[in-house]
Amino acid sequence: MAGTRGAESFFHQRINASTVIIRASITTLKRRSPQVATFLAMASSGSRRLIGLSTKMYFSLARSRDFTSSLVSQLGSVPSHALSRIDVFILPDFIALPTTVSQLRASDSPASTIIWPGAQDCHWEDQGAFTGQVSASVLQEAGARIVMVGHAERRRLFGEDDILVAKKAAAVTRNGMVPLVCVGEQTRAGEESSDSGDGTAAAVRQCAVQVDTVLETLPATTEVILAYEPVWAIGATQPAGVEHILSVVEGIRTLESVRSRSGVTRIVYGGSAGPGLFARLKSGLDGLFLARFGHDPVQFVRTIREVAEA
């Protein structure tokens, strides 16, 4: 019996030692190779929660650098078991993206490996005479891992429609990155909506057109993130109601274009999102897309912990 226990103890020690070596090797590979880091993150992302933000056009270059440094530093205080459950994305402007990528690659903190740098938009072609535009291929070369398309502000200010958003999402996927596709109804049910029937059903119908148009252009095996952002809730003092959010997201998940996919499809909520919200949404969502509240790195990390530990 004593011999058996000794053998078991020796066996477990060898297993634990091997686990430590494997984890250390993976960490080293992530730091030395951005491609390996991307592969490892995406390979396991289906079971991970997701939280992120866009800096829009609020940050100077100096503020972008300070934000990234502070974020990595403060994430170091988050328990490793919590970090292992979550992916974090930050979407700086085009000019700040290369610096953000360099900061993350140069960091020795394990926390930096869960942060996906990305972009707020892209062109739908990989090259051509498109003055002032930035292609998805260049963003990928610069180190982006995720690109947002279809934000309500771009639809409103630049006239982007579902077809154009789908072309951009296809460009992102074609270049090996993950599209973050913004969808959401225009008006609040019961106030300005001209749709007949229940407000939630009307919202799902509007979102369904947006989702279907994008997903029919993407290979079913690729990863995609859907950001449900009711347009009327963007910039509002309060997010949409919890029951409304959960009902609309459930409706999106039941769409044939979503159910038929074999690739990872995560859905996050945006639209005045902040601390305390995810605990009420965790039964139906995969994470949050924060607004300006997240531009304070202290509050951002606070919300990251909430999402990871909820």
Q: What is the full DSSP assignment across 84-126?
A: TTEEEEEE--TTTHHHHHHHHHH---GGGGGEEEEES--BSSS
Q: Which of 151, 160, 223, 244 is catalytic?
A: 151
Across 257-273, average pLDDT:
95
Question: What's the pLDDT score for residue 3?
Answer: 53
| Contact assessment for residue 171 and residue 122, using Cβ atoms and an 8 Å cutoff | yes
| 40 and 124 within one domain | yes
Q: How many domains does the chain have?
A: 2
- H helix and E strand count, the chain: 13, 8
Q: Which residue is associated with the tokens 């990863």?
A: 223
- CATH code for position 154: 3.20.20.70
Residue 13, domain extent: 1-32
Question: Residue 221 and residue 215: Cα distance in Å, rounded?
Answer: 11
| 5 and 59 within one domain | no
Q: Which residue is associated with the tokens 């270059």?
A: 61
Helix axes 242-253, 199-215, angle to 10 degrees: 40
Question: Residue 237 and residue 240: Cα distance in Å, rounded?
Answer: 10
DSSP state of 296: S
How does the average pLDDT of the chain come out, rounded?
Answer: 87
Q: Which residue is associated with the tokens 């930035």?
A: 134
Question: What's the pLDDT score for residue 47?
Answer: 79
**Token digits for 59?**
């940050």
| 209 and 72 within one domain | yes
pLDDT in tens, 57-95: 999 999 999 999 999 999 999 999 999 999 999 999 999
| 58 and 13 within one domain | no
| 146 and 121 within one domain | yes
* Cα atoms in the Cβ-side hemisphere of radius 13 Å centred on 37: 23
Q: Which of 223, 229, 244, 306 is catalytic?
A: 229
| 152 and 20 within one domain | no
Q: Which residue is associated with the tokens 């100096």?
A: 62
Whether 229 is catalytic is yes
| Contact assessment for residue 230 and residue 188, using Cβ atoms and an 8 Å cutoff | yes
| 292 and 205 within one domain | yes
pTM for the full predicted model: 0.84
Across 3-16, average pLDDT:
46
| Contact assessment for residue 220 and residue 175, using Cβ atoms and an 8 Å cutoff | no
| 110 and 11 within one domain | no
| 261 and 301 within one domain | yes
The length of the chain is 310
Whether 12 is catalytic is no
